[in-house]
Amino acid sequence: MKPAFIYSDNFLKYDYGHSHPFKMIRLKLTRELINASRLLGSDSLELTPQAATAEDVLRCHSQDYLDVLKSIDEAAPPDNLLKYGLGLGDNPAFKGVYEGSMLASGGSLMAARLVMSGEYSSVFNIAGGLHHAMHSRAAGFCYLNDPAIAIADAVYSGKRVAYIDIDAHHGDGVQAAFYHTDKVLTISFHESGRFLFPGTGYVEETGSGDGKGFSINMSFLPGTTDDIYEEAFDEIVPVAIDKFKPDLIVAQLGADSLKGDPLSHLELSIKSFGELVQKIRNFGVPLVALGGGGYDVTNVYRAWTLAYSVLCGKNIAMELPPDFRAFASDNGYPADVLYEPEKTTSDNDDLRKFVKAEIEYLKKETLLK
C-alpha cells in the first residue's frame, strides 16, 4: 500500500494576517520541498482535498457556531463574536475562515477515509492538526477541530482510534471531544500547562465514565531534550497501543516541540522528530498524519518533509535542493540542510525526575496498568 499527501494552494487563502504567528507559507514551503525531494510520484500520490460537509462537522461542533463562522465569510457576523472565541488576537475573524476551515477539515476526513478503505497505508494532511477548537468555540489559532472530526467519522464507522499528539501544546480539544468514551485513546505529549497554553493536559486528566483511563497526558518541563522525551515515548506509547489495539492511528505532528520555536520551550531536534514519526509508523496500523503548530517556519517545512519521507519509506538528501533553497530564500525562510546530525541531550536531573513521576502515575491510573 502507498502513502499519499494532501495539498491545495487554496490552503493559502486561509490567512490569519501578516502579524499573526500562524503562517500559511509554511504549507507551501513544505509541499515544494517534498516535491523537490522527489517524494511525489506514482508510488506516492498528491491528492486534492474537498471541503467537509456540515453533516461531517456537526459531529463535533454546534450548528450555531458553524453558522457564525459562515457569517464571517459572508461579511455579516453577529455582535457576539467573543462568545465564540472569535475576533481576538489568537483567532481573528477574517474572510475565508469558514471556507478554509472546512477545506482543512475535509482534508483530514479524506485522509481517514482513504486509509480506512485500505487504499493507502498512510495519508498526510499538513493543513490539519488544529487540535484546540472546542464544540462551540475557537481557541489557539484553531476554528474547527479537524482531528476530532476525522476521528468521530471513523468511530461512526465502527473503528477504534488512537490519537497521538506530539505538538508542544496539549491537544485539549481532541481530549475534550472523547473524554467519556473508550472507543478513542488520546495520548498527548506536550509542555506542561504550568508554562504554556492552554494550561491543561495534566497527568491527572485520565478520562471519565467509560473513558476512564483512556486519556494519557505526558507533560514536560521547559528545556526537555530528545533523550528525555524519547525515553518517555518508548515507555508509554508502545504499551498503550498494544493494549488498546486501534484500527486507526491519527497522529498530530505539530513542529513547535522543536528547539528554537518562538512560542514554546521544548528542545527536540528535527532528527528526533523524524524518529518519533518512524516509531508511530512502525506500529503497522493505518495512519493519518496531520500538521499542527510550528512557528519557526524553517523548522516546520524541514520536519514535515522528513516526516513524509518516513511515511514513504525513503531516505532523502541532507542538502536541500538548490532550486528549493532559492525558493525558500526568496520567501524569507532560508535553510541549507534538512537537519543537523546532533540530537539534544540534558544532564538536568530535575527534568528526568519530573518525567519519571508522570510515568509512574500513568502506569497506575490509565490503561497502561
List strands edge to edge, sheet with 184-191.
45-47, 2-6, 120-125, 287-290, 248-252, 161-165, 184-191, 215-220
Residue whose C-alpha cell is 488520546 = 186
Distances (CA, A) of 255 to 280, 283, 292, 354, 358: 16, 21, 7, 23, 23
Q: How far apart are CA 84 and CA 29, in angstroms?
A: 32
Whether the ω angle into residue 198 lies within 30 degrees of 0, i.e. cis, is: yes
Cα 266 to the center of its chain, rounded Å = 16
| 168: nearest Cα among 210, 198, 211 | 198
Residue 40's identity, in one-letter code, is L
| Cα–Cα distance for residue pair 203/206, rounded to 1 Å | 7
Please tell me the distance from the alpha carbon of residue 123 to that of residue 125, in angstroms, as a whole number: 7
Active site residue 20: no
Residue from 131, 132, 169, 170 carrying the catalytic annotation: 132
Task: Classify the C-alpha dihedral 82-88-90-91 as positive or negative.
Answer: positive
Active site positions, annotated: 132
